[in-house]
Structure 1
């Protein structure tokens, strides 16, 4: 009798899964929007590469051109952002985290994610790279993909078992997966940064949506890693001291960067620059753009843009970085973010970390510099974001082989721990700043 009851329950469950068209319609719709989100990020990637390529061509021909072009563009971008689409300012990751906050009503999520914001983010971040500013496309990709996925809620049938929270989480993670061509990194980003309440019945569907979005990048660009192949030699105890130095240096510089960024953006200090930024944000942005252009000329063009091409060339041994590259790229990225331009810091963080690892290799005379560059990328990214597992997995998926897995894990944990001594988690604090845009009665 008991066996018959169990059998009837199983058959009933199967029948409800197979017969209810709303469940399957919801699943198909989620996967379709996941593919669309991935393709949108691919299009955004193509736009940014084309834009920065155009900037480099003009800059190589007319070295002085950024001194005029970059400040004008920075001022114009900030003016458009503040006047029409304030929700696009900054990285994009804090906006998605804010949209996931329980204090945000469904009707207010449009302040942080929407199709309008996604399209505006694509245009303004692309414009920023056309101006030569030091920003990345990965943070914006999170907001862009989340906006696309969130739009699916309009078409989901009742009882589809997919929540708005789940769509936002999957969209944000899909942005990382497609931007870096690292589906596993996108899944970990969803777990470590975006997920506060685990989805239950729809979790498998949402994980599949994240992976599908990442596969859209693979289908267009091929199954190649973000920085090419980083080959490492057989590891030995000789890596212990250089690796520890990389971890500590990344933790200190990354924590300092996060703290400086938070203090600057909050604008709570009474220094002259913060007051200027509050009173005349467009003029302040122009000054930041001018400073970025001067830094770019001092570095012989190495600090312009996201730093992706420079990092890849450095890993392949085709580029000799400026002796002050870490400091100059640090300053250019901070000034770009402080100006209020829509853009991320993932790619510049990887570039700074890779250069820091290269500096430690020269300092300690370590033979295989790419190994320390990979550790530096993971360490600095972990220190800035204080998301060590995400940083570890993203860089791990760039490495050919498993020889560095334990070293990457140790580096990200140490760097993140050191960073916590200097700064609170960057994106969580920025998300709280975003929540201040809610009507006052809703922040209680």
Structure 2
């Protein structure tokens, strides 16, 4: 009988010591993602607070430290730590599509983790309009890939996806948003064998975040709701306008990035310093003009708008400009938080012009603009729901996000992160390479690999 059914360990993999060793490594990786995400968040907040403290005391200081900071970060990202530029989400997407090997490990190495965290913190310390959420995705993916390498787990693609989802969940204290982000943006498909990996990693990373920071909503609590025909008109305006502006951001970012690469390539020794210097000067000048509102993540202004405080009329166009300039400068840093602040400012301005509540407009503007930038409407409204604890505006937020997606595609038909990922896949310029059937078959689930 045993000859037909196999050994007890074969029939019951939970009896195998290797199973538990690999499973413990997997759980340990998820714990590390949560802990590193929290430490990264605290370092980022401290760096941003330090910049505002000194820039308020010496109002011309940004004209010095912001350009110099941009030059240093761009040089370090381009010459010392290539692959650390920008958000980090395109790198994680590209790593999933690359075959197992050196190229994947280079994008998600331990060295890259330290570079991404350190340079993003330096950027915030210099007033750059960046967020930590995108870099946290790359860091989370890198941690889980290292777990796969150290313990011989075969499903690297699934673990990269899980680490990315846990990074979003821990960054925003939004576990559901992490799962939705993994499905909608990172993979554009969801394999059955990865669902347990993603959910487990998000749960463990989220528990670590809760234990270290407590249960909180990123933008506070909002009970704003859409009422009557005026509310639905506001929803339509915020969703459509936000989507058009978000699509414009993505289109400009892709076009300027392409142009800048060609321009710098013509004279790299000079232009790779001049270009980020110009970007830093522009960000500093706009920040001084707006009395500091456009520096950093924009979190405080966005949170105030969600709570009903109307920002200055110039906030959203200034924040749009500084975020775009920072994003194309080549320094590491994400666009999640700055994009949400642009959307909040735009929505609050539209609501004020129409005589509606600022808080409602801010929520709808965030949904429309964010969906327009990343072209991921499910992620947009789920993140906003979890970040504000608002369950009274579920349908309006969905509508605003879908309108934002449709309007964005009129301006920029190409999804931003997937287009940027092409830059890390030079051998597949026609599009992201889909793994072959043999590669998918070789990458077994964690539970199956652990039993062997």
Tell me which of 359, 364, 372 is aligned to 1:375: 364
Q: Which stretches in structure 2 are left out of the alignment for 5+ residues?
A: 435-452
The residue number in structure 2 matching 1:280 is: 271
2:301 paired with 1:310: yes
The residue number in structure 1 matching 2:13 is: 17
2:121 paired with 1:126: yes
2:377 paired with 1:388: yes
The count of corresponding residues between Structure 1 and Structure 2 is: 430
Pair 165,197 (structure 1): closer, same or farther in 2 beyond 3 Å: farther
- How far apart are residue 438 of structure 1 and its match? 8.7
The residue number in structure 1 matching 2:346 is: 356
Question: SS state of the match for residue 218, structure 2?
Answer: coil
Distance in 1 between residues matched to 2:324 and 2:160, nearest whole Å: 28
Distance in 2 between residues matched to 1:375 and 1:421, nearest whole Å: 20
- How far apart are residue 236 of structure 1 and its match? 2.8
The residue number in structure 2 matching 1:83 is: 79
The residue number in structure 2 matching 1:112 is: 107
Tell me which of 24, 29, 51 is aligned to 1:55: 51
RMSD: 2.7
The runs of 4+ residues in structure 1 deviating greater than 4 Å are 11-15, 272-279
The residue number in structure 2 matching 1:413 is: 402
- How far apart are residue 341 of structure 1 and its match? 0.7
- How far apart are residue 277 of structure 1 and its match? 8.0
Distance in 1 between residues matched to 2:125 and 2:427, nearest whole Å: 29
The residue number in structure 1 matching 2:91 is: 95
**1:395-406 alignment to 2 at 5 Å?**
395-406=384-395
Pair 154,359 (structure 1): closer, same or farther in 2 beyond 3 Å: same
Distance in 1 between residues matched to 2:269 and 2:187, nearest whole Å: 33
The residue number in structure 1 matching 2:174 is: 182
Pair 108,256 (structure 1): closer, same or farther in 2 beyond 3 Å: same
Give deviations 1:187-234, integer Å, cap 9, x for gaps. 011111122564444531331112221222222111111111112146
Mean alpha-carbon deviation: is it higher for 388-397 or for 226-235?
Answer: 226-235
The residue number in structure 2 matching 1:43 is: 39
Distance in 1 between residues matched to 2:155 and 2:53, nearest whole Å: 46
The residue number in structure 2 matching 1:143 is: 138
The residue number in structure 2 matching 1:74 is: 70
The residue number in structure 2 matching 1:321 is: 311
**Aligned partners of 1:264 and 1:274 also within 8 Å:** no
Pair 269,37 (structure 1): closer, same or farther in 2 beyond 3 Å: closer
Pair 317,76 (structure 1): closer, same or farther in 2 beyond 3 Å: same
Distance in 2 between residues matched to 1:251 and 1:201, nearest whole Å: 34
Give deviations 1:318-359, integer Å, cap 9, x for gaps. 5x5222211111110111111101001000100000001101
What TM-score results when the alignment is normalised by the length of structure 1?
Answer: 0.90
Mean alpha-carbon deviation: is it higher for 115-124 or for 148-157?
Answer: 148-157
Pair 143,241 (structure 1): closer, same or farther in 2 beyond 3 Å: same
Distance in 2 between residues matched to 1:202 and 1:292, nearest whole Å: 41
2:327 paired with 1:337: yes
The residue number in structure 2 matching 1:207 is: 199
What TM-score results when the alignment is normalised by the length of structure 2?
Answer: 0.89
Distance in 1 between residues matched to 2:198 and 2:234, nearest whole Å: 40
Question: SS state of the match for residue 424, structure 2?
Answer: helix
